[in-house]
A and B are shown apart, each in its own frame.
Chain A
Amino acid sequence: MLGGMMATLCSRGPDSAGFAIYGEGRPDMVKLSLHGASEGHVAAVAGRLAEALGKELDFAVRHTQAIVSVAETDLGHAEAWLTAHAPEIAVVGKGRRMEIFKEVGNPVAVGKAFGIERMAGSHGVAHTRMATESAVTTDGAHPFSTGRDQCLVHNGSLSNHNSLRRELRREGVTITTENDSEVAAGYLTWRMRQGQSLGGALQSGLTDLDGFFTFVVGTESGFGVLRDPIACKPAVMAETESYVAFGSEYRSLVDLPGIDNARVWEPKPATVYFWERGQ
């Protein structure tokens, strides 16, 4: 369904695509989303990681990525091993439930390569990119991880990302690309590290982030939406008894079940919205 929603908006961003899927999780395990050069490459690295940890690892390889589940107690070791022995591997996400997949290419083809339509979960985020601020690379594709089980996608462009990147690096936040959206993700990570809630971090972003943005932020239990005060970039919501959906345009929502009777509305500028899944 997410793939279908995204496919209708291919024309908005044809160069790369990414997904965050919130599937099953276990309380004592952490899923690492690893991105490599090829299926063989990530599979081999996952195998070597298992050897290094000295235990059987549960991992699933899809296209250029592997989702590796490691015990909470092994997480530090696993991350240190990856940095030291497989520096070419990008850890694009980690969390109890969140899995991130992203790649350059036509969004429909990318979705197919990862088999997105066969995945299940409580919620998910899809993004198609039309690069403006940095190169068309997988590193520049969204979603960006902002912390455990948290991710961000962005439509727009930030004008103060260079100065903000310098400040965040000084504060010890890891930012690997020249991409402006990664800076936004890093900014939220930093704010939350200071003790703010995600909602609070987004609220602070209204003051500190200069530029155009509509953000969608995924969390373990739901997702949030924030538009800049000028509302340069589009956003539309659909709500029914059973779901909440976001799209850049209504076109991407038309195949959702019961859409004809859904409440369809536009989120207001400079307003933090959040939807949490009922337990």
Chain B
Amino acid sequence: MTGVIDLKSATIRDLNSRLQDAASAPEGSVWHVANVRGHHSVAVGIDRPLTVEVEGNTGYFTAGMNHGAEITVKGNAGQGVAETMSAGKVHVTGDASMAAGASGRGGLLVIDGNAAARCGISMKGIDIVVKGDVGHLSAFMAQTGRLVVLGDAGESLGDSIYEARLYVRGAVTSLGADCIEKPLRDEHRAELAGLLAAAGVTDVPVDAFRRYGSARDLYHFKVDNAGAY
């Protein structure tokens, strides 16, 4: 089934209630959301595989807590797009504002344009592919998951990173505390190729990327540092 929800007449609560209810929006149904006009919390908390096409620029927390839906934002997304996503796919055709994919546990977030500061902050298993640049402090305290950046990365990339893997094709302004460049081995080439394919990127060779990750000096207790406590 296919449906249109027009935010000119429907409230955000109406929209989300309909999309969250399996009776009104069964698995496999396709939804268009019209007249978005920068609204916050568009298409949040969906827990099954639906297709949602959001027509226009959105406000904060779009597609938050997604668990299985495939949500496309045709335009720019405001702060915290796909925050705490656990499964599914969120695709932003324009730019994303700050904290895209924050604390995400799973699923794939694809941003065709740039992502602003703190992209992938505290990510816990989400995969993020940004075709443009990412702002400062991206992947801050990133625990697991992969962040792929086809453009440049701003200051302090991967500050206090745990075990997330970061792949950047362009320039990195600076690396954050405990984040270092690491060799790109075959297993990484394979995983990167998979992520690029999932994001629809076919014309970029994996060897154009550099890999960054944790030096593991910060989060292990070291007896040499005991005097500092």
Contacts and interface: CB of A to CB of B under 8 A. Distances in A.
B95 interface: yes
A139 B173 CA distance: 42
Nearest to A268: B135
B78 A249 contact: yes
- Greatest chain B CB density within 10 A among A251, A252, A253 is at A251
Contact of B37 (A229, A230, A254): A254
Nearest to A227: B117
A250 B78 contact: yes
A265 interface: yes
B59 interface: yes
Contact of A251 (B38, B94, B116, B135): B38
Nearest to B155: A229
B122 interface: no
A250 B135 contact: no
B5 to A, nearest CB: 18
Contacts of B57: 250, 264
A251 B117 contact: no
Nearest to B117: A231
Given A266-B97, A268-B135, A269-B136, A250 B38 contact: yes
A234 interface: yes
A217 B163 CA distance: 43
A266 B116 contact: yes
Contacts of B135: 231, 268-269
A231 B59 contact: no
The interface centre, meaning the residue of B59, B60, B76, B116 with most chain A CB atoms within 10 A of its CB, is: B116
A44 to B, nearest CB: 44
Contact of A264 (B37, B39, B76): B76
Interface string A241-274: 0000000011111100000100011101100000
Given A231-B98, A265-B95, A249 B117 contact: no
A193 to B, nearest CB: 33
Given A231-B135, A234-B79, A234-B97, A269 B39 contact: no
A253 B95 contact: no
Interface centre among B39, B57, B76 (most CB of A within 10 A): B57
Instruction: Place the interface of chain B in its size category.
Output: 20 to 34
Contacts of A236: 97
Nearest to B96: A266
Contacts of A231: 98, 116-117, 135-136
Interface string A89-116: 0000000000000000000000000000
Contacts of A230: 117, 136
Interface in B35-68: 37-39, 56-60
A249 B57 CA distance: 11
Given A231-B116, A231-B117, A249-B78, A266 B37 contact: no
B113 to A, nearest CB: 9
- Most A CB within 10 A of own CB, among B38, B75, B135: B38
| B79, B94, B117 pick with most chain A CB within 10 angstroms | B117
Contact of B59 (A229, A251, A260): A251
A251 B39 CA distance: 7
B58 to A, nearest CB: 8
Nearest to A262: B57
From A253, A265, A266, A268, name the one whose CB has the most chain B CB atoms within 10 angstroms.
A266
A265 to B, nearest CB: 6
A275 to B, nearest CB: 20
Contacts of A253: 38
Contacts of A260: 56
A251 B56 CA distance: 11
Contacts of A269: 117, 135-136
Listed from nearest, the 5 A-B pairs whose CB atoms lie closest are: A250-B38, A251-B38, A254-B37, A231-B117, A250-B57
Given A234-B78, A269-B117, 12 more contacts: A229-B136, A231-B116, A231-B117, A231-B136, A234-B97, A249-B59, A251-B59, A252-B38, A260-B56, A264-B57, A264-B75, A269-B135
25 contacts: A230-B136, A231-B98, A231-B116, A231-B135, A234-B98, A249-B38, A249-B59, A249-B60, A249-B78, A250-B38, A250-B57, A250-B59, A250-B78, A251-B38, A252-B38, A254-B38, A260-B56, A264-B57, A265-B76, A266-B97, A266-B116, A268-B135, A269-B117, A269-B135, A269-B136
